[in-house]
A and B are shown apart, each in its own frame.
Chain A
Amino acid sequence: MPTKESLIPIHLDLDLDGHRYKDAFTWNPHDPDSQVLSFAKRTVKDLKLPPTFVTQISQSIQHQLAEFRSFGGQDMFIQEKIVPLKLDLRVNNTVVRDTFLWDISNFESDPEGFAVTLCNDLDVADPEVAPAIAVAIREQLYEIATQSVSAVKEAKLGKKGRRGYELSKGGNNALDVSRYFGSKGSGVIRKRKDWYMNGPTVDVLTNEEVGTLEELNSRFRRKLDEKEDSFQQG
């Protein structure tokens, strides 16, 4: 993880016995694994979910932790790379959309601090938005990290056996900074047409809009599931 402290973003989306539990948070990998079970028990107790959730939650968390750890200890080839990160999330009534550039090679970068500052500056009323933003940022960083690790692996197993690192196209989401910003001398100012995209937008939805969004989401998900099923059968 290209941050000083790697906190693992964990996603949980479980649907059992009619109880839906959706959560996203960060986990400190230095915490012993015994914490996973106690965390699961505590959550189930606090939210009064049926006890079958305990095993599901702990399994899911451990799975994601194991995935993360499998990448550990491997070289992440990080050039000086500036990567665009996107935020597009909805937490209760607040929708946040943002695009910004992030410097991966700078290990001092702090997603949590960014999230808190963003929420404070934009006067976001809901306190649950900030952790969601932090988790989203970490997820994207994690994606990038895994991609670069796999790119390094590919390069090592490359047929030529040469020592040159060639980043495959898929892993290259670094941007040529000069091309990104205006050409010729406008230097650090963006092209005008890109202005609208890069600022943060925060919308507060009313409850009905949220309701319709959820409906659409669930319908979409159902269609996806159906397609998957038919695909598997076919």
Chain B
Amino acid sequence: MIANLDKQIEQLKRCETISEAEVKQLCLQAREILVEEGNVQYVDSPVTICGDIHGQFWDLMELFSVGGMCPETNYLFMGDFVDRGFFSVETFLLLLAFKVRYPDRITLIRGNHESRQITQVYGFYDECHRKYGSSTVWLQIFKLLTKYAQLIGNKKYLMMVLCVIFFGLIRMRYKAGVYRRRGAGFLFGGDAVRSFARMNDIELLARAHQLAMEGYKHMFDNLIVTVWSAPNYCYRCGNVASILELDENLRQEYKVFVHAPSDARSIPAKRAPPEYFL
């Protein structure tokens, strides 16, 4: 079984998809591991914290070349693995395979894009259809993620807390409190952040979800850092990306990297377009 997993990992590292049956098996194995994890997961340092990937597979490979490959490096990914990029399938499956193979060397947090609704709009669903000819793989993955969410104790509250911490938009100009900006989102100001950190004895809140041109961005006297790991986002933003390395003593080092060189492999060969584009 491990030999199989290693074979799949090598395949995925070449950005080659695994079969539908292998995806199903991987999801079942991942479920068994995630069942054992707590709703608040303790992660040992040293650890390298990464932000949004959004299907930018070759940029994820750049990330690994800068930060070290799993399992040599202990990783924590803050979600948003899928949507927008070309390779959400390979990206997510590689990270999942790493999780199954080396469960103590990688932690995966669910981002707001790891959702049925969002992925039906922003590309992951379409990509699954393109690569597998049906929505089976997509469904398998969401069965896994939904089950995972259900297993997290007092679900709604804690998922909301996680959402609040990891998805909340933060704006420098808001001094106090929590603002409802959009239907599904909240905006937090400095006072809310400081108060939360004080109450929970927190030194640093790392989060993702917002584009940071220089790869990372500190706010509120370095109490919060946004780590963004998708370089040249949408092929136009021209941003760099970063990872945050915490050593044994929790000293912070930010490593910045640019997008993978644009070559033939970074743009997938076009398949036959849907009929209406003929």
A and B from one complex: no
Taking Cβ atoms with an 8 Å cutoff, the residues of B that contact A are none
